[in-house]
Amino acid sequence: MKKFTLLLFFLPLGLFSQDDLLKDLESEIVEDKTVIAAFKGLKVVNFETTKLASKKDFYFVVAHRFGSVKNGFDDFFGLDNAVTQLKFIYGFADWLNVGVARSSFQKKYGIHAKYRLLTQEGDGFPVTLVGYHLATINTSLKKDQYANLEFVDRFNYTSQLLISRKFNKSFSLLLAPTFIHENLATRSRNVLADGTTFNYDEDHNQYAIGLGGRYKISTRVSINADYGIHLNRNKNSNFGNPLSVGVDIETGGHVFQMHFTNAQGMFEDGFIIQGQGDWNEGDFFFGFNLSRVF
């Protein structure tokens, strides 16, 4: 009888202690409302996305653009005039990436930094914000083209604020306000059939808006597109705004992107302000981006 009385006395105390323990555990659980995977690739097509390499991840990226398909079998739909970019990216932190690259287009080298500022949350901040800065050096410029050419003229600088929102499990959008500074902003344009040219100058400071989107059609496949609007292009320019459409295929450790675009350059100062193709005339380029993470 005494044992039964003691059991009745201590049982409520045990229940209260258990309730307190559960409350303490629940108070330590912080629900992660971070919205992830707005984009599965580091690029939409040409424009950077808000995705970053994770800490200690190493990315090797091969980007390829064939020549224009306009000439058909004459150069096998651009096969003879392809350009390639090789890029290496390292995640120093989950929020910070640094990369280096080399492109055969204008024989350019580039170094960039990409960092996350804010992340979209389910019931909180509505977008993800990422900063992106790029410096390139054009090694193809020659003294016989520009008599007063100096080494510093080879450098261009790009800064972007990448803003993305994932609206649902299938659909994401990107907005990319862009600033580009060119140390050498002189252009040449053919004006006669015999190749006669004249030079004109762009502003050293160029402004653009990038727009991009992704629509997921299966677990591993999505349709991607991006478009750049050059806001202060010289009226004498024969370059156009870049429009690109493609497909992303995710296969394990890498993302394979196939696309069509009217810009052959792959650095921002190439495809945004020097897009030489024209969709209306069938003058565009087939290409792909292949990224492998280690």
Name which residue leads in pLDDT, 81 or 159. 159
Amino acid occupying residue 259: H
CA 271 distance to own-chain centroid: 12
Given this structure, which CATH class describes domain 32-293? Answer: mainly beta
What span, in angstroms and rounded, lies between the C-alpha atoms of 88 and 250? Answer: 19
> Is pLDDT above 80 for 257?
yes
Least confident of 18-27, 99-108, 203-212, 230-239: 18-27
pLDDT in tens, 180-204: 999 998 876 655 556 666 677 889 9
DSSP lists the bridge partners of residue 115 as 96, 131
Q: Give the least confident one: 14-23, 92-101, 258-267.
A: 14-23
Cα–Cα distance measured from residue 264 to residue 67, given in angstroms and rounded to the nearest whole number? 8
- pTM for the whole structure: 0.86
Mean per-residue pLDDT for 204-224?
97
Say yes or no to pLDDT of 19 above 90. Answer: no
DSSP state letters, 45-89: SSSB-S--PPTT-EEEEEEEEEEEGGGGGGTTTTGGG-EEEEEEE
Looking at 200-204, 211-215, 229-233, which range is the least confident one? 200-204
For 267-277, write each residue's pLDDT tens digit: 999 999 999 89
Letter for the amino acid at 5?
Answer: T
Determine the Cα–Cα distance for residues 273 and 193; give it in Å rounded to an integer: 24
Longest Cα pair distance anywhere in the chain, in angstroms? 115
| Mean pLDDT computed over 59-86 | 87
Q: Is the pLDDT of residue 84 over 70?
A: yes
Q: Where are the domains of the chain?
A: 32-293
pLDDT at 186: 80
CA gap 181, 287 in Å, rounded? 27
Region 237-261 average pLDDT: 92
pLDDT at 108: 97
The share of the chain scoring above pLDDT 70, in percent, equals: 85
Q: Give the up-direction half-sphere exposure of residue 259: CA atoms within 13 A in the CB hemisphere.
A: 32
Answer positive or negative: Cα dihedral of 171, 58, 109, 180: positive
Give the burial class of 239: count Cβ atoms within 10 A of its Cβ; 0-12 exposed, 13-18 middle, 19 or more buried.
buried
- Which pLDDT score is estimated for 28? 47
pLDDT of residue 20: 52
Please state whether 235 falls in left (phi above 0), alpha (psi between -120 and 50) or beta: alpha
- The SS3 assignment for 77 reads coil
Non-local CB neighbours of 263 within 8 Å, separated by 6+ positions: 46, 242, 244, 270, 271, 272, 274, 275, 276, 277, 285
Q: Is the pLDDT of residue 18 over 60?
A: no
